[in-house]
Amino acid sequence: MRKFTLLVFSAALAAMAVSCTKENASEILTFAGIEVEVGDQNSSGKLLILNEGPFPGMSTLDLLDFKTHTYYADVFGQANPDVVQGLGNTGNDMALIGGRLWVLMNASNQVAVLDFPSCKLYKTLEVESPRHIVADGNYAYITSFGAAVYGGDPALGKVYRVNTADFTSTSVEVGYQPEGLAVCGGKLYVANSGGYNFVPDNRLSVIDLGSFTVSAQHEMPAANLNLMEVAQDKLWVNTYGVSSWTQDADGNWIQNMSDPMSLMAIEPSTAKATVIKDVHADKMTLCGDFLYAFGNDAEMNGGYDICLYKVDTRNASVTKTSFAGSDLSRIGYAYGLLVNPDNGDLYICDASFTAGSKLHCFDASLHYKWSVDTGVGTGHLLISK
């Protein structure tokens, strides 16, 4: 299906493969990559792929150059051969901020800040169990579980504010196990999950950016809040629902859902939340006016029907496509997704945590286009220009 040709690039060609609009000679490294069959992308971007790795185990960062059809595995390792521990343990999120790539390493309790595109390690920040990151102005905001979540008394999570110029930081406590966050109207909104507590958190924390203090904690109609996007001046938040686990006579663990995964649209000014019906959102991503999510549409009746939901944020209308019976059926374990704004292509991570994963590409009509082999536990994607 795919033809791979090993390519070892000179420094000049590597600059083409991982270049961006702001580069100089010191940023250019020689990377080894392989040619992959991804067809005509109509996109000049480069896809960054964060592999979580086995747990516990080292994460890796890969790069797919759409223009040259070249896949570069473990670019952090190639750029930093003297960093013995590698990128770190369990990458959870990443963002490009001011010409640097920030990579959150959850189990390593650190954030790796890399020069981009060279991927040379610039600085390591100590953050307890970092989860998600968003930038606004001169600051990066990072959610943190704040303390160990397995056993013992529950501990409130935190949001760290890091100055992107000098890397000084401060933090404020929010709810339990905060996950996604977003800036809207001069405020920072934080989705608290409480996913490791006996009773999950259902609060949306509001942080005033001027004073960097929590100004409100709003209870939502669904618990275990997860990711967050901003569209049509609303906050779009997915939730993991509420479940319990029991064992049958043979010792098999059975998940019992009391509340489903869901998607909410929240008015920031009033915190009024509207649950979008019949959207079981596990992971989600925003592209233009459309929110894309996938999840088990049959979870409440004990079935298994993984579906892709396309939500028009202008009117909350939903188009649903079942993986079964469509080109999406080639995906074994959907774990992450992203849409390319240049061409509408949809990328879905097909993760394995014991061996190599795959990344599948589908066009805007969800017809299969191509696949590439990736690392262990592929789950997070980012497009750079």
pLDDT of residue 26: 38
Give SS3 for 300.
Answer: helix
Dist. CA 283–CA 49, nearest whole Å? 16
pLDDT of residue 83: 95
Low-confidence ranges of the chain (pLDDT < 50): 1-28
pLDDT of residue 150: 64
Helix (H) or strand (E) holding 181: strand 178-184
Residue with tokens 């958190």: 201
pLDDT of residue 20: 41
In the chain, what is the straight-line distance between the N-terminal and C-terminal CA atoms, in Å?
28
Residue with tokens 């064992």: 247
Q: 58 has which bridge partners?
A: 89
DSSP 316-373: TEEEEEESTTSGGGG-SSEEEEEE-TTT--EEEEE--SSS--EEEEE-TT--EEEEEE
Coarse DSSP helix, strand, coil percentages of the chain, rounded to the nearest 5 percent: 5, 50, 45
| Strand 358-362 to 5-8 pairing | unpaired
Burial class of residue 142, CB neighbours in 10 A (0-12, 13-18, 19+): buried
Residue with tokens 């109509």: 42
pLDDT of residue 266: 98
How many residues comprise the chain?
Answer: 385
Whole-structure pTM value:
0.89
Torsion angle, CA of 160/163/164/166, rounded to 10 degrees?
A: -130
pLDDT of residue 148: 61
pLDDT of residue 122: 98
Tokens of 119: 């991927």
